[in-house]
């Protein structure tokens, strides 16, 4: 099904729950928005054929949504989930994304797991019902989380587990990377891709310093105010935050980042983790993984990775970051 899109003949700054970006005020800029993957996608380009190229990006979003969604009945992922352990042949891109998901599930020691669907489906963060699942249901769902039960042979996937594959934690980043790859192949190296807060620079900005300024939202701010900003060029900026999807009950906040050892929202006094790196799919997976590790262990983990930096915001709005922030990546606290 085709999604509606909105064309804006000048570039704008888009205010979103995770990030705010600026620095795209070229008179020739074109920004268009569409709704895919249950989120708003905004693409800003600076080229003579920008509208046509943006529409091609939206076509990619629709294509991959039809591969990766676990709510579209004939998607690759739905076929795997409904296979009862039988082999399923899927598209090349699905294999590529599954391999990324398995890699980060292994790298995280299981704190990130792409078979989390049965557990995450118990928690209704989107409709703000305030319903807390029964503990017995949570414990039963936890037992189904095990990425090691996914076997891949060529384009054939065999899933012998009882859980539900859910690629929502990495699909947006993967699709953003594919959009950038397409745009670069078309000779486009200036612009911004924003998939519901996953921000990816198509290339360096045509300015004196070549940077885009990305503002980090102050968690739970009613007016979407910025707590800090970074300057990036040809990189991705992705935030995992407790304020993005949550409900409040009896004075306690229940958010969507789940602890896979308990089945409940993780409580480590962090409000958000922002990852800056070259690949959006990497930033997607690392942001969730690092959040689950907590501030100290998360910093150590990021410092062990090449070309990855992180910014941490605690639940009392204290900001800390890894060694490359403020040196290789310009950084500024808001006044």
What percentage of the chain reaches a pLDDT higher than 90? 80
Residue 306 reports pLDDT greater than 90: yes
Residue-level pLDDT at 280: 98
Cβ–Cβ < 8 Å for 295, 303 = no
Within 10 Å of residue 260's Cβ, how many Cβ atoms?
Answer: 19
Residue 18 reports pLDDT greater than 60: no
Cβ–Cβ < 8 Å for 193, 180 = yes
* Integer angstrom CA distances of residue 96 from 2, 69, 82, 171: 25, 15, 20, 11
Cβ–Cβ < 8 Å for 75, 84 = no
Within 10 Å of residue 281's Cβ, how many Cβ atoms?
Answer: 27
**Tens digits of residue pLDDT in 90-107:** 999 999 999 999 999 999
CA distance 296 to 273: 12
Residue 53 reports pLDDT greater than 70: yes
Residue 11 reports pLDDT greater than 50: no
Residue-level pLDDT at 167: 97
This prediction has a pTM of 0.90
Chain position carrying tokens 């042979």: 153
Residue 2 reports pLDDT greater than 80: no
CA distance 65 to 57: 12
Q: How far is CA 146 from the centre of its chain?
A: 21
CA atoms within 13 A on the CB side of 316: 0
Within 10 Å of residue 72's Cβ, how many Cβ atoms?
Answer: 14
Q: Which residues pair with 247 in a beta bridge?
A: 254
Residue in 335, 286, 281 with CA at minimum distance from that of residue 312: 286
Q: Where are the domains of the chain?
A: 76-159
Residue-level pLDDT at 206: 81
Burial of 271 (0-12, 13-18, 19+ CB in 10 A): buried
CA distance 131 to 123: 8
**Tens digits of residue pLDDT in 192-237:** 999 988 999 999 888 888 899 999 999 999 888 999 999 999 999 9
CA distance 46 to 147: 41
Residue-level pLDDT at 97: 98
Residue-level pLDDT at 10: 26
What percentage of the chain reaches a pLDDT higher than 70? 91
Average pLDDT over residues 28-51: 91
Proportion of the chain in helix, strand, coil states, percent, rounded to 5: 30, 30, 45
Fold of the domain spanning 76-159:
T-fold (1.10.3980)
Residue in 80, 14, 74 with CA at minimum distance from that of residue 43: 14
Q: Which residues pair with 239 in a beta bridge?
A: 274
Chain position carrying tokens 């006094």: 269
């Amino acid at each position: 099904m085709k999604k509606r899109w909105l064309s804006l003949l000048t570039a704008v700054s888009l205010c979103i729950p995770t990030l705010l970006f600026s620095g795209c005020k070229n008179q020739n800029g074109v920004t268009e928005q569409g709704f895919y993957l249950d989120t708003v996608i905004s693409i800003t380009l600076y080229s003579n054929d920008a509208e046509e190229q943006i529409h091609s990006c939206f076509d990619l979003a629709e294509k991959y949504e039809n591969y990766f969604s676990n709510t579209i009945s004939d998607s690759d992922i739905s076929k795997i989930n409904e296979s009862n352990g039988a082999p399923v042949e899927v598209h090349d891109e699905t294999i590529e994304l599954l391999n990324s998901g398995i890699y980060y599930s292994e790298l995280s020691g299981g704190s990130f797991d792409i078979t989390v669907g049965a557990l995450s489906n118990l928690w209704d963060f989107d409709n703000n019902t305030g319903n807390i699942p029964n503990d017995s249901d949570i414990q039963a769902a936890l037992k189904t989380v095990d990425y090691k039960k996914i076997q891949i042979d060529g384009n054939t996937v065999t899933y012998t587990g009882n859980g539900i594959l859910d690629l929502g934690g990495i699909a947006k980043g993967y699709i953003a990377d594919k959009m950038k790859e397409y745009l670069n192949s078309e000779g486009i190296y200036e612009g911004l891709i924003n998939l519901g807060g996953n921000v990816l620079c198509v290339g360096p900005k045509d300015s004196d310093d070549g940077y885009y300024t990305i503002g980090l939202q102050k968690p739970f701010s009613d007016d979407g105010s910025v707590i800090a900003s970074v300057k990036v060029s040809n990189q991705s900026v992705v935030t995992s935050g407790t304020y993005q999807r949550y409900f409040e009950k009896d004075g306690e906040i229940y958010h969507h980042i789940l602890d896979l050892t308990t089945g409940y929202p993780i409580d480590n006094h962090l409000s958000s983790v922002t990852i800056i790196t070259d690949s959006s799919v990497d930033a997607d997976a690392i942001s969730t993984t690092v959040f689950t590790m907590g501030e100290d262990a998360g910093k150590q983990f990021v410092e062990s990775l090449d070309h990855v930096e992180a910014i941490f915001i605690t639940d009392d709005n204290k900001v800390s970051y890894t060694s490359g922030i403020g040196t290789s990546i310009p950084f500024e606290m808001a006044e």
